[in-house]
Amino acid sequence: MEKLEREIRESKFAELMNKHFAASSIPKGIHCLSLRLTDEYSSNAHARKQLPPPELLPLLSDNSYHHFILSTDNILAASVVVTSTVQSSVKPEKIVFHVITDKKTYAGMHSWFALNPVTPAVVEIKGIHQFDWLTRENVPVLEAVENQNGIRNYYHGNHVAGANLSDTSPRKFASKLQARSPKYISLLNHLRIYLPELFPNLDKVVFLDDDVVIQRDLSPLWEIDLEGKVNGAVETCRGEDDWVMSKHFRNYFNFSHPLIARNLDPDECAWAYGMNIFDLVAWRRTNIKDTYHSWLKENLKSNLTMWKLGTLPPALIAFKGLVHPIDPSWHMLGLGYQNNTSIESVKKAAVIHYNGQSKPWLQIGFEHLRPFWTKYVNYSNDFLRNCHILES
C-alpha cells in the first residue's frame, strides 16, 4: 500500500514538473510570429510606419484621454489585450495604448500594430531601450537581480527537482515551481514600479497584464475616487477559494523571518496585480519605488528567504496603506489556475485574468475558458495562418 501511495505521489509531482516546463516554454507558433513580423519590419515600409502618426503624437501625453499601459514580449497576447479593450469600449476614440516591449521583440511588435491598426484608438510601441530613464543608476536593483548567484541557482538549480517529496505537499511544490518562472527576473515584469518616471506627463493610467481579456467598457475606472491613494486594485482576501481569492500577507511572506515578522501583519489583506488604476500624481509624492528597491535587496541579501521571487510581494510592502479597494467585478482572477471556474461569473467580469500556468495560448490552457480569449484573435490573419496559430 505504501509503495502504491509513493508511486501516485511521484506521478503527481512529475505531472507538476511537466506542467511547469510547458508553461515556461514559448509555443512554436508564437515564436514564429515574432520572427516573421521582425523580418517584415526590415523589408516592408508599412510595417515601419510611425506609431502613432506625427499628427497624433500630442495625444500620448494628453490627460483628457484614457491611457492604458501594457508591458510584454508576447505579440499575440498584446494583440488580444489591445483588441479586447478597444472593442469593449464605448468611446474607443478616447483610448491611448502604450505598449512596452524588449529590444528583441520591438520590431515584431511594431510591425503587428502598424499592419493591424486598432483605429480609432491610438497605439504607441516603445522598446525598453528607448527609455532614457532606464539606466543602471536609476534601476540598481535589476543588476542585482540579474547577477545574483542565488537567483540563477534558484531558477536553474535542481533544488526543486531534487526536493524530498515525502515532506512536501503537491500544493507547496506547485507554488515553488511557479516562483521559478523566468518572468520574475524580467525587467518587463518589474517595469510597473517605474511608471511615474517613464510617463512623467501622465496623471492617471490603467496598467494591464498581458494575460487579461477586457469584456466591458473600462472608462468608468477613471471616475473612481481613489481618495488620495495611489493604487486602485481588487482585494484578494474576500473569496472562498485558496488559490486566488483567499490571500493574506501570510500567503506571500515567510513570517519566521524576523524582519518580516517585525514589519508586516500576516492577516493583512492582499490585492491583485494585473488590472490596476494608478494615480501617478499621488504616486510621485511617495517613496514607493525606494521602498520596493530596499525590500527587494533585503530579500536578495537573505538568500530569498523572506519571500519567493515575484513582483507582487515587494509591491504589497511598497504600496502598503496606499491601495484603494475597487469592486471585485472589475477584475476576475484565476482562469489559469482553476478548471472549475464558473462560466457565468466569467461572463459578468469586466476584466478576466488568466493568471496561473494555464495560459489560453498554451496547450495546457483550459478548453472551456479559452474561447473568452480566442474570440479576440483574428485567425484569418496571414501571419497567424503561416505560423499555424489555429483556433483549437
CB 304 within 8 A of CB 155: no
80: which 3 cell numbers? 488580444
> What's this model's pTM, rounded to 2 decimal places?
0.87
Mean pLDDT for all residues in the chain? 86
Q: Is residue 161 part of a domain?
A: no
The answer to whether position 12 is within a domain reads no
* Residue scoring higher pLDDT (182 or 44): 44
| Nearest-angstrom CA–CA distance, 382 and 386 | 6
Between 172 and 315, residue with greater pLDDT? 315
Cβ pair 334, 243 in contact under 8 A = yes
pLDDT at 114: 98
| Cell representation of residue 54 | 506625427
Report the percentage of the chain scoring pLDDT > 70: 80
CA distance 244 to 134: 33
Domain containing 363: what range? Answer: 31-144+178-386
Q: What is the pLDDT of residue 58?
A: 98
56-62 contact pairs (CB < 8 A, 24+): 56/122, 59/96, 59/122, 60/96, 60/98, 60/122, 60/124, 61/201, 61/202, 62/96
Residues in the chain: 392
What sign has the CA pseudo-torsion 55, 57, 58, 62? Answer: positive
In a domain, 16, yes or no: no
- Long-range (24+ apart) CB contacts under 8 A made by 336-339 are 336/211, 336/360, 336/365, 336/366, 337/243, 337/244, 338/241, 338/243, 338/244, 339/366
Residue 40 has pLDDT above 60, yes or no: yes
Q: Is residue 166 part of a domain?
A: no
Strand ranges, E, within 245-330: 275-279, 323-325
Which one-letter amino acid corresponds to residue 362?
L
Per-residue confidence (pLDDT) for residue 308, from 0 to 100 = 81
Average pLDDT over residues 161-184: 52
Question: For the ranges 78-87, 123-132, 153-162, 343-352, which has the lowest average pLDDT?
Answer: 153-162
Is 340 part of a structural domain of the chain? yes
- The predicted-structure confidence for 202-251, as pLDDT tens digits, reads as follows 999 999 999 999 999 999 999 999 999 999 999 999 877 666 778 999 99
Least-confidence region, from 77-91, 178-192, 318-332: 178-192
Residue 18 lies in a domain: no
The pLDDT-based confidence of 303 (bands split at 50, 70, 90) is confident
Higher pLDDT, 32 or 139: 32
The structural domain count of the chain equals: 1
- Quickly state the pLDDT bin for 129 (edges 50, 70, 90): very high
Whether residue 172 lies inside any domain: the answer is no
- Give per-residue pLDDT as tens, 192-213: 999 999 999 999 999 999 999 9
Cβ partners under 8 Å of residue 80, min gap 6: 213, 373, 376, 377
pLDDT at site 21: 43
316: CATH: 3.90.550.10
Specify if 65 maps to a domain: yes
274: region left, alpha or beta (phi > 0 left; psi from -120 to 50 alpha): left
